[in-house]
Amino acid sequence: MSDKTRVVIVGGGVAGMEVATGLGRAGSADVVLADRGLSHVWKPMLHTFAAGTARPDRQKVDYFAQAKRNRFRFQPGTLVAVDRVARTVSLVVEEAETKPPVQLAYDLLILAIGSRANDFGTPGVAEHCLTIDDLTEAEGFHAALRRHLLRALRGQDGLSVAIVGGGATGVELAAELKHAIDLLARYGSPDLPRHLRLVLLESGPRLLPAFPERVSAAATRTLGDLGVEVRTGAMVTGANPAGFALKDGGRIDAVLKVWAAGVKAPDVLSGIEGLERSRTGGLVVGPDLRTTKDPAILALGDCASLTDPTLERPVPATAQAAHQQAGHLVPALRRILAAGTPEASLPPFHYRDRGALVSLADFNGWGTLGRYTFGGGRLNGLSARLAHDLLYRQHQFGLFGPGLALATWAADELDRMVSPPVRLD
């Protein structure tokens, strides 16, 4: 039996995948990555998979292949429990539900299981609304979209889509859906756009509240020019098969209903006894990214709640933050794992706000660099889309190394040249 420190990482998103890859390459620990899916995708691309303007089969990274290349192990399964006394995690493998849960023992547990949209207990949302929090849900939305588009093409129905949430996810999804419909119209269905009604609902006074007001105003104008009905100050009080009920007594009828509002940690974290949690259910961690009540458990990315002492505010739940935390943690853990002291002190993490990006498909885009903004000048989204792409390529460089990452980039560009710009299947 190996005497190496047993490191279990649950969650194969940006942070989990980068940490597993970095620690696996070092070879100084027995590293296991667990995730309920079999492949990794860049989460900021989920809305493009949902709309059909990007193909997930071209962008997925197989966990088993990544594990083999980088000397860690991959265990499929959904986290259902953590036993802090026995230091084990329990995973249920969906394809084998009748079998007992898989048990993994750990010396160091790293939780990076992301976040979920928060329906705030709104009646009917869980039963009647779709979300796009992971690849399975994005592909499920696309399948539903395709079914209803075919009905619209046969003249049986119009297609009405209502999206709740005026943050980056909701705004980008609305623009991407409009872009997808316009592209599909070029393939022999010129009347398709007139069958679409697209509504974006935001309970607050403006879209994109994390951005400057002028960006919010510009995004609202752009969506309006595209035919998207933007409703701000629209508080949803319930959902049913026909649509949404609003606080002011109004209704929004919709065939497809998407909930993209709010953020909360996955419910499984509430079952881990003795750990400190934030108002949205995230695990409270100190500057060393260890949970405040158990140094053997770390939390990264969206499921962690960290108040940066320099900024005096919570670190945002973004891919940028997850990437920074992984980049900070890997060299620090390598040192203590090589020394065989997994609970030794770690240097404090400091979040560096490098700005935010929002891209409205090929229509427009904006970015912020600190207090500076760029884009929004009818640049066809070039500046924001380029920045999005560069962040994604940076992530690929970390996972694959320069050679394979450059080859992957070249393959993506070749595929873009020969494949339709929207899914037709």
For the segment 86-142, what is each residue's pLDDT rounded down to a tens digit? 999 999 997 665 678 999 999 999 999 999 999 999 999 999 999 999 999 999 999
pLDDT tens, 184-222? 988 877 888 888 899 999 999 999 998 889 889 999 999
| Cα maximum dimension of the chain | 68
- Pick from 73-77, 80-84, 184-188, 268-272: least confident: 184-188
Q: What pLDDT does 346 receive?
A: 95
**Mean pLDDT for the chain?**
91
Same fold, 5-116+264-338 and 120-262: yes
25: three-class secondary structure by DSSP: helix
pLDDT exceeds cutoff 70 at 256: yes
Q: How large is the average pLDDT for residues 63-76?
A: 97
Which residue did the predictor score with more confidence, 317 or 112? Answer: 112
pLDDT tens, 272-309? 999 999 999 999 999 999 999 999 999 999 999 999 87
Q: What pLDDT does 378 receive?
A: 43
Q: Across 38-191, where does the E strand assignment appear?
A: 39-40, 61-62, 73-76, 78-83, 88-92, 102-105, 108-111, 159-164
Q: To the nearest whole percent, how much of the chain has pLDDT over 90?
A: 72
Q: What pLDDT does 43 receive?
A: 92
pLDDT tens, 8-21? 999 999 999 999 99
Between CA 111 and CA 10 the distance in angstroms is 5
5-116+264-338 fold: FAD/NAD(P)-binding domain (3.50.50)
Q: How large is the average pLDDT for residues 317-332?
A: 94
Q: Is 38 left (phi over 0), alpha (psi -120 to 50) or beta?
A: alpha
Q: Within 10 A of 386 (CB to CB), how many other CB atoms are there?
A: 16
Give the strand pairing for 313-314 and 243-246: unpaired
Domain boundaries, the chain: 5-116+264-338, 120-262, 354-417
Q: Within 10 A of 233 (CB to CB), how many other CB atoms are there?
A: 13
pLDDT tens, 340-358? 899 899 999 999 888 778 8
Q: What pLDDT does 356 receive?
A: 79
Q: How large is the average pLDDT for residues 265-270?
A: 95
By C-alpha distance, which of 262, 269, 268 is closest to 284? Answer: 269
Q: What pLDDT does 383 receive?
A: 64
pLDDT exceeds cutoff 80 at 70: yes
120-262 fold: FAD/NAD(P)-binding domain (3.50.50)
**HEC profile for 273-338?**
CCCCECCCCCEEECCCCEECCEEEEEECHHHEECEECCCCEECCCCHHHHHHHHHHHHHHHHHHHH
